[in-house]
């Protein structure tokens, strides 16, 4: 029997207990699963989420892996007491939710839906939008979420360019990388989707300079990390008329303070960090699959590279 400590916070336990127990049973794994820990030295696996029950991992001397319930690991990867292998969450349910949010808001901006939904003056404007094939989209970040969103956007007909820090190749997708590739990827883009991790290299990747490369009237969609955008530069680009709109789901401070200028700006839509959520049913299977792999001596899935920060 193995010991699994659910250290992701008491509030999450009721949602995760049944799916985790079911996934363990289906995998044929006998485990003592609990949100309580009386002896850290006897714990084999830790299920974790930022804001959970652990800040010091030193006592967990037998722990074979820390299994994060979030896709992002920036709040834990710098913890020097965490010497155990750390796995981030790649959840099919989370991916599906992100694809739906990105596709929905991309089509909203592409079709200019707001001009009809928010039309108090009853203006009759029969102007048709261009076809998707005439609207260049750039996705910054080609990890699991970025690639899934790029694939969905291409399926609708958008010409999609993907950018990543390291070189990548995906059939049917224009892939660019590095600093020169970033300017090339953003130049002329009419919709930009940010799905990069937060690292020192990606902070403020959209700034006064890089925002100037996108097409006039472009829409910015950020369901990735709030730190990816220079807030002051974004507001300036909107006020100058260079950007058409920004739909933001993530922010440097959450909840977004009531007096933040984003709330009142007519060119910004705020969504309250709902683009993607880890789903207990699907996430539990991912967690248990990694436990089964570790018990069988197989490589862990979604292992975090501490040097790169994700």
Residue tagged active-site, from 242, 265, 273, 293: 273
Residue tagged active-site, from 12, 88, 225, 285: 225
Pairing of β 174-177 and β 160-164: parallel
Q: Any catalytic annotation for residue 122? A: no
CB 238 within 8 A of CB 212: no
Q: With the C-alpha atoms ordered 163, 169, 172, 174, is the resulting torsion angle positive or negative?
A: positive
Q: Phi/psi of residue 144, each to 5°?
A: -60, -45
Locate 104 and state its tokens.
Answer: 């929905």
Residues in contact with 97: Cβ distance below 8 Å, sequence separation at least 6, in sequence order:
275, 276, 277, 279
- Tokens 């789901």 — which residue? 249
Locate 288 and state its tokens.
Answer: 């248990």
Q: Any catalytic annotation for residue 225? A: yes
The Cα–Cα gap between 237 and 243 comes to 6
The Cα–Cα gap between 162 and 173 comes to 7
Locate 283 and state its tokens.
Answer: 């996430």
Region of 227 on the Ramachandran plot (φ > 0 left; ψ -120 to 50 alpha; else beta): alpha
Active site residues: 225, 273
């Amino acid at each position: 029997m193995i010991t699994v400590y659910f250290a992701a916070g008491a509030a999450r336990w009721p949602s995760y207990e049944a799916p985790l127990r079911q996934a363990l049973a289906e995998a044929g794994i006998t485990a003592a699963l609990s949100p309580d820990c009386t002896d850290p030295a006897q714990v084999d696996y830790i299920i974790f989420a930022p804001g959970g029950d652990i800040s010091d991992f030193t006592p967990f001397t037998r722990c074979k892996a820390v299994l994060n319930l979030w896709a992002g690991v920036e709040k834990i990867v710098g913890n020097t007491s965490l010497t155990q292998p750390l796995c981030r969450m790649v959840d099919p349910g989370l991916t599906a939710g992100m694809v739906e949010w990105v596709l929905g808001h991309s089509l909203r901006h592409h079709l200019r839906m707001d001009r009809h939904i928010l039309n108090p003056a009853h203006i009759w404007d029969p102007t048709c939008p261009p076809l998707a094939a005439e609207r260049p989209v750039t996705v910054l970040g080609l990890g699991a979420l970025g690639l899934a969103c790029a694939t969905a956007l291409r399926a609708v007909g958008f010409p999609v360019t993907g950018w990543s820090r390291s070189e990548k190749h995906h059939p049917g997708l224009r892939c660019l990388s590095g600093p020169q590739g970033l300017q090339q990827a953003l130049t002329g883009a009419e919709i930009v989707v940010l799905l990069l991790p937060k690292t020192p290299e990606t902070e403020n990747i959209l700034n006064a300079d890089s925002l100037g490369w996108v097409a006039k009237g472009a829409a910015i969609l950020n369901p990735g990390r709030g730190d990816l955008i220079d807030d002051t530069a974004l507001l300036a680009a909107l006020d100058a008329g260079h950007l058409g709109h920004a739909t933001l789901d993530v922010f440097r401070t959450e909840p977004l303070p009531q007096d933040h200028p984003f709330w009142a700006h007519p060119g910004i839509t705020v969504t309250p960090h709902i683009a993607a959520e880890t789903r207990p049913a699907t996430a539990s299977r991912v967690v248990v699959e990694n436990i089964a792999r570790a018990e069988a001596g197989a490589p862990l899935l979604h292992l975090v590279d501490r040097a790169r920060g994700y």
